[in-house]
Structure 1
Amino acid sequence: MSAYLIIEAHITDPQRFAAYARATPEVVARYGGHYLVMGGEQQSLEGEHAATRTVISCWPDRAAALAFWHSADYAAIKPLRAGTGSFRVLLADGMQTQALNDTATEGKAP
Protein backbone atom coordinates (compact mmCIF):
# COMPACT_ATOMS: atom_id res chain seq x y z
CA MET A 1 0.00 0.00 0.00
CA SER A 2 1.41 3.37 -0.91
CA ALA A 3 2.11 5.91 1.80
CA TYR A 4 2.23 9.70 1.88
CA LEU A 5 4.32 12.24 3.74
CA ILE A 6 2.17 15.32 4.30
CA ILE A 7 4.10 18.38 5.40
CA GLU A 8 2.67 21.68 6.58
CA ALA A 9 5.41 24.30 6.47
CA HIS A 10 5.34 27.84 7.79
CA ILE A 11 8.52 29.29 6.30
CA THR A 12 9.96 32.29 8.14
CA ASP A 13 13.34 32.47 6.37
CA PRO A 14 12.83 31.62 2.68
CA GLN A 15 16.39 32.47 1.70
CA ARG A 16 17.91 29.95 4.12
CA PHE A 17 15.14 27.41 3.44
CA ALA A 18 16.02 27.46 -0.29
CA ALA A 19 19.15 25.34 0.29
CA TYR A 20 17.02 22.61 1.93
CA ALA A 21 14.41 22.85 -0.85
CA ARG A 22 17.09 22.36 -3.52
CA ALA A 23 18.72 19.37 -1.77
CA THR A 24 15.65 17.35 -0.75
CA PRO A 25 14.06 16.26 -4.08
CA GLU A 26 17.10 14.23 -5.15
CA VAL A 27 17.13 12.34 -1.83
CA VAL A 28 13.37 11.78 -1.99
CA ALA A 29 13.76 10.27 -5.48
CA ARG A 30 16.69 8.09 -4.36
CA TYR A 31 14.43 6.45 -1.75
CA GLY A 32 11.55 5.90 -4.18
CA GLY A 33 9.41 8.93 -3.39
CA HIS A 34 7.96 11.56 -5.67
CA TYR A 35 6.06 14.78 -5.09
CA LEU A 36 2.36 15.12 -5.70
CA VAL A 37 1.99 18.62 -4.26
CA MET A 38 4.81 21.15 -4.03
CA GLY A 39 4.64 24.84 -4.87
CA GLY A 40 1.79 26.24 -6.88
CA GLU A 41 -1.30 27.98 -5.62
CA GLN A 42 -3.05 26.69 -2.51
CA GLN A 43 -6.48 27.95 -1.50
CA SER A 44 -8.35 27.26 1.72
CA LEU A 45 -11.93 26.22 0.96
CA GLU A 46 -13.18 25.52 4.47
CA GLY A 47 -11.99 26.02 8.03
CA GLU A 48 -9.13 28.07 9.33
CA HIS A 49 -5.71 27.48 7.86
CA ALA A 50 -2.55 29.16 9.00
CA ALA A 51 -0.20 30.74 6.49
CA THR A 52 1.40 27.40 5.68
CA ARG A 53 2.45 25.58 2.55
CA THR A 54 1.46 21.96 2.08
CA VAL A 55 3.83 19.47 0.46
CA ILE A 56 2.76 15.89 -0.25
CA SER A 57 5.11 13.15 -1.37
CA CYS A 58 4.08 9.65 -2.39
CA TRP A 59 6.05 6.51 -1.48
CA PRO A 60 5.77 2.89 -2.59
CA ASP A 61 4.92 1.95 1.00
CA ARG A 62 5.35 3.04 4.62
CA ALA A 63 8.72 1.27 4.87
CA ALA A 64 10.15 3.32 1.99
CA ALA A 65 8.95 6.59 3.52
CA LEU A 66 10.45 5.67 6.89
CA ALA A 67 13.70 4.53 5.24
CA PHE A 68 13.98 8.00 3.70
CA TRP A 69 13.01 9.83 6.91
CA HIS A 70 15.53 7.93 9.05
CA SER A 71 18.30 7.75 6.44
CA ALA A 72 21.79 9.18 6.83
CA ASP A 73 21.19 10.98 3.51
CA TYR A 74 18.21 12.90 4.88
CA ALA A 75 19.92 13.44 8.25
CA ALA A 76 22.73 15.20 6.37
CA ILE A 77 20.39 17.75 4.76
CA LYS A 78 17.71 18.16 7.46
CA PRO A 79 19.84 20.70 9.41
CA LEU A 80 19.53 23.02 6.39
CA ARG A 81 15.91 23.67 7.36
CA ALA A 82 16.65 24.31 11.07
CA GLY A 83 15.54 27.77 12.09
CA THR A 84 13.82 28.45 8.77
CA GLY A 85 10.25 27.92 9.98
CA SER A 86 7.95 25.50 11.73
CA PHE A 87 6.96 22.16 10.27
CA ARG A 88 4.35 19.47 10.88
CA VAL A 89 4.95 16.11 9.21
CA LEU A 90 2.41 13.30 8.97
CA LEU A 91 2.91 9.83 7.51
CA ALA A 92 -0.37 8.42 6.17
CA ASP A 93 -1.16 5.12 4.49
CA GLY A 94 -2.89 5.21 1.10
CA MET A 95 -6.24 3.72 0.23
CA GLN A 96 -7.43 0.74 2.18
CA THR A 97 -8.39 -2.32 0.18
CA GLN A 98 -11.50 -2.73 2.31
CA ALA A 99 -14.29 -0.18 1.89
CA LEU A 100 -14.83 2.04 4.93
CA ASN A 101 -18.49 1.05 5.30
CA ASP A 102 -17.45 -2.62 5.50
CA THR A 103 -15.70 -1.97 8.83
CA ALA A 104 -19.04 -1.21 10.48
CA THR A 105 -20.24 -4.77 9.88
CA GLU A 106 -17.03 -6.61 10.86
CA GLY A 107 -17.52 -9.14 13.60
CA LYS A 108 -21.34 -8.98 13.40
CA ALA A 109 -23.44 -11.99 12.48
CA PRO A 110 -25.43 -11.69 9.22
Structure 2
Amino acid sequence: MPAYVISEVDDVRDPAGFEAYRTIAAKTIAQYGGRYLVRGGAASVIEGGPPPKTIIVVEFPTMERLREWYASPEYAEALNVRRTALDRRLIFVEGITPV
Protein backbone atom coordinates (compact mmCIF):
# COMPACT_ATOMS: atom_id res chain seq x y z
CA MET A 1 0.00 0.00 0.00
CA PRO A 2 1.48 3.40 -0.92
CA ALA A 3 2.24 6.00 1.71
CA TYR A 4 2.54 9.75 1.40
CA VAL A 5 4.52 12.56 2.97
CA ILE A 6 2.62 15.83 2.98
CA SER A 7 4.76 18.83 3.82
CA GLU A 8 3.46 22.35 4.31
CA VAL A 9 6.31 24.85 4.33
CA ASP A 10 5.33 27.65 6.69
CA ASP A 11 8.37 29.91 6.56
CA VAL A 12 11.63 29.96 4.59
CA ARG A 13 14.20 31.54 6.91
CA ASP A 14 17.24 30.96 4.67
CA PRO A 15 16.58 30.79 0.90
CA ALA A 16 20.02 29.33 0.11
CA GLY A 17 19.55 26.74 2.85
CA PHE A 18 16.09 25.94 1.51
CA GLU A 19 17.54 25.23 -1.93
CA ALA A 20 20.29 23.07 -0.40
CA TYR A 21 17.65 21.15 1.56
CA ARG A 22 15.53 20.60 -1.58
CA THR A 23 18.52 19.25 -3.50
CA ILE A 24 19.61 16.84 -0.78
CA ALA A 25 16.03 15.74 0.00
CA ALA A 26 15.21 15.05 -3.67
CA LYS A 27 18.24 12.80 -4.03
CA THR A 28 17.36 10.80 -0.92
CA ILE A 29 13.67 10.54 -1.84
CA ALA A 30 14.59 8.95 -5.17
CA GLN A 31 17.11 6.67 -3.45
CA TYR A 32 14.36 5.29 -1.20
CA GLY A 33 11.81 4.78 -3.98
CA GLY A 34 9.83 7.97 -3.47
CA ARG A 35 8.50 10.27 -6.14
CA TYR A 36 7.16 13.80 -6.05
CA LEU A 37 3.47 14.22 -6.86
CA VAL A 38 3.29 17.91 -5.86
CA ARG A 39 6.25 20.20 -5.39
CA GLY A 40 5.15 23.72 -4.57
CA GLY A 41 2.68 24.36 -7.37
CA ALA A 42 -0.12 26.92 -7.12
CA ALA A 43 -2.66 26.01 -4.44
CA SER A 44 -6.05 27.50 -3.57
CA VAL A 45 -8.30 27.12 -0.56
CA ILE A 46 -11.78 26.08 -1.71
CA GLU A 47 -13.26 25.44 1.75
CA GLY A 48 -12.22 26.43 5.28
CA GLY A 49 -8.89 27.21 6.89
CA PRO A 50 -6.16 29.75 6.25
CA PRO A 51 -4.53 30.14 2.82
CA PRO A 52 -2.22 27.25 1.94
CA LYS A 53 1.52 27.66 2.13
CA THR A 54 3.95 25.79 -0.11
CA ILE A 55 2.68 22.19 -0.35
CA ILE A 56 4.81 19.15 -1.20
CA VAL A 57 3.43 15.62 -1.61
CA VAL A 58 5.74 12.63 -2.03
CA GLU A 59 4.62 9.06 -2.64
CA PHE A 60 6.55 6.05 -1.32
CA PRO A 61 5.77 2.41 -2.11
CA THR A 62 4.98 1.63 1.57
CA MET A 63 4.84 3.32 4.96
CA GLU A 64 7.78 1.16 6.02
CA ARG A 65 9.89 2.52 3.15
CA LEU A 66 8.80 6.08 3.93
CA ARG A 67 9.86 5.68 7.57
CA GLU A 68 13.19 4.12 6.47
CA TRP A 69 13.81 7.18 4.32
CA TYR A 70 12.96 9.63 7.12
CA ALA A 71 15.25 7.83 9.59
CA SER A 72 18.05 7.27 7.07
CA PRO A 73 21.57 8.66 7.43
CA GLU A 74 21.23 10.11 3.92
CA TYR A 75 18.17 12.18 4.86
CA ALA A 76 19.73 13.18 8.21
CA GLU A 77 21.96 15.59 6.30
CA ALA A 78 18.89 17.25 4.78
CA LEU A 79 17.22 17.45 8.20
CA ASN A 80 20.25 19.25 9.62
CA VAL A 81 19.96 21.87 6.88
CA ARG A 82 16.17 22.10 7.29
CA ARG A 83 16.39 22.97 10.98
CA THR A 84 17.86 26.39 10.21
CA ALA A 85 16.46 26.96 6.72
CA LEU A 86 12.69 26.49 7.07
CA ASP A 87 9.73 25.76 9.29
CA ARG A 88 7.18 23.21 8.16
CA ARG A 89 4.45 20.83 9.16
CA LEU A 90 5.11 17.21 8.07
CA ILE A 91 2.43 14.53 7.85
CA PHE A 92 2.74 10.82 7.01
CA VAL A 93 -0.44 9.20 5.68
CA GLU A 94 -1.22 5.73 4.31
CA GLY A 95 -2.79 5.52 0.89
CA ILE A 96 -5.27 2.99 -0.41
CA THR A 97 -4.59 -0.20 -2.29
CA PRO A 98 -5.52 0.31 -5.96
CA VAL A 99 -8.53 -1.69 -7.11
Greater C-alpha Rg:
1
- Partners of 1:11 and 1:17 within 8 A in 2: no
Match of 2:6, as an amino acid? I
TM-score normalised by L of structure 1: 0.79
Give the fraction of aligned pairs with identical amino acids, expressed as a percent.
28
Structure 2 gap segments, 5+ residues each: none
Shift of the 76–12 alpha-carbon distance from structure 1 to 2, 3 Å rule, reads closer
Q: What's the offset of the Cα at 1:65?
A: 0.1
1:49-74 Cα deviation digits (max 9, x unpaired): 25521110001000100000000100
Q: Kindly provide the CA deviation profile for residues 16-54 of structure 1, in whole angstroms up to 9, marking residues without a partner as x.
A: 211101211111000000000002211111112255211
Structure 2 vs 1, CA of residues 43 and 50 (structure 1 numbering), >3 Å: closer, same or farther?
Answer: closer
- Residue equivalent to 2:71: 70
What amino acid is aligned across from residue 12 of structure 2 in structure 1?
T
Structure-2 residue corresponding to 1:7: 7
Aligned length: 98
CA-CA distance at 1:5 after TM superposition: 0.6
Deviation larger for 58-67 or 7-16? 7-16
Dislocated runs of 4+, deviation >3 Å: none
